[in-house]
A and B are shown apart, each in its own frame.
Chain A
Amino acid sequence: MTNRKPGRRSGSKRKLLLFSIGVLVVLAAAGVGAYAFYGHQQPANTAGTIGINAGDKAPSMPVYLTNGTSTSLSSLQGHAVLVWIVATWCPGCQETAPLIASQYYSQLSSAGVTLLTVEDYNDLGYAGPTMTQFASQYAGGAGSHQGWLFADTSQGATYTYNPQADLDIWYLVSPSGTIVTSGLNLGTTIQSAITAAVSLQTAPS
């Protein structure tokens, strides 16, 4: 009969294994911590693979503001515009709006950026809050930040700007109406947008 007892392997081997596991746990925790505090800002898309290429003229986009007036993206020329296209039911967007309001809006504002938050046409076919409700629940209300606009748009513009039906996509449009850069998940890529907006402001005209 073969009795198997715990601890049959040598004590030094066991200590080595437990020590290795401990080291791995500490390294993993350190890696996660470092990533959490320094590495979560992902680069924006500069290769132009999302919808419209960087350098292209921004296609027309009707803008139906929550205050009831209608305008268009081209009418906002003269300012850099960060167009943030969202599905209002997307939890990532619902978390990003207060993140912008509390941490990033002042930087965007000082860089002279108009933030235009646009709901995907028909909320991508899934029921979510209206844009007015989204603004009031997650961004302190549509009128609470000057230069932060909330709007709906058309199906055509949604298809053009968001061809893959992403829930959280953005474009930085220069004051002359050219796409500067774009990205997904604004909450983790906003620093890239701000950096690009600041360089637009400092670039010689």
Chain B
Amino acid sequence: MNTGRHGRLHYERFAVETAFAGKAYLVLFLSLSVSISVLYLFLLPSLPLGGLVPYAIRFITPVETAFAITFGVLLSLVATLNVYAFMTRASSVKGVTAGSVIASLVNGLCCTPLIPSLIAMTGASTPVLYEISPRLQAFFEFNSQYFYALSVALLLVSVHYLSRSITACCDVGKRGMSQ
């Protein structure tokens, strides 16, 4: 994260303070945070079942709980800053955020027919399927915490680039006004 000429996290602090000066953005951020976090609290333990099953929340792990809340807050921050960037004509960041959403859903690749079907579509025989498919599914399931970390890292990168863009756009404006 940035420790540039204005001190630690200058861009991020400036962007957040500037955007949240508007009450509408703060309301948007808070409502999105709660909605996305709750959605992920239900979604993460449901993914191995192959559908959204509210009952599955009883199987949520501490890692999944922490990730659901962190992801909800960070994705909401990115969304809010993106809206703010759009309104102020600063550059928005989309690709990295999309990558983080994909990484956050990786444990859906275990237990569902997605991987076996994709491999079967290549024309692979049953022994080949037995060699590859379970190992791939196990890999995604038992390493999901690394994909969660990747997802959070991508969101932090999004926040950083958005903050730089907003700072470049609006800090110049502010300083220009004060002179």
Contact = CB atoms under 8 A, between A and B. Distances in A.
A40 B134 contact: no
A37 B46 CA distance: 13
Contacts of B107: 91
A15 B134 CA distance: 50
The size bracket of the interface on B is: 35 or more
B48 A188 contact: no
B138 A89 contact: yes
A6 interface: yes
Interface stretch (A52-60, A65-73, A93-101): A93-101
A164 B116 contact: yes
Interface string A87-121: 10111111110010001000000000000000000
Contacts, number: 148
B51 interface: yes
B176 interface: yes
Contact of B22 (A4, A6, A125, A126): A6
B97 interface: no
Given A6-B87, A29-B35, A125-B134, A164 B24 contact: no
B28 A3 contact: no
B151 interface: no
A25 B32 contact: yes
Interface string B137-178: 110010000000000000000000000000001101100110
12 contacts: A3-B177, A7-B87, A8-B89, A35-B52, A36-B42, A40-B51, A90-B48, A90-B137, A99-B55, A164-B116, A184-B112, A187-B56
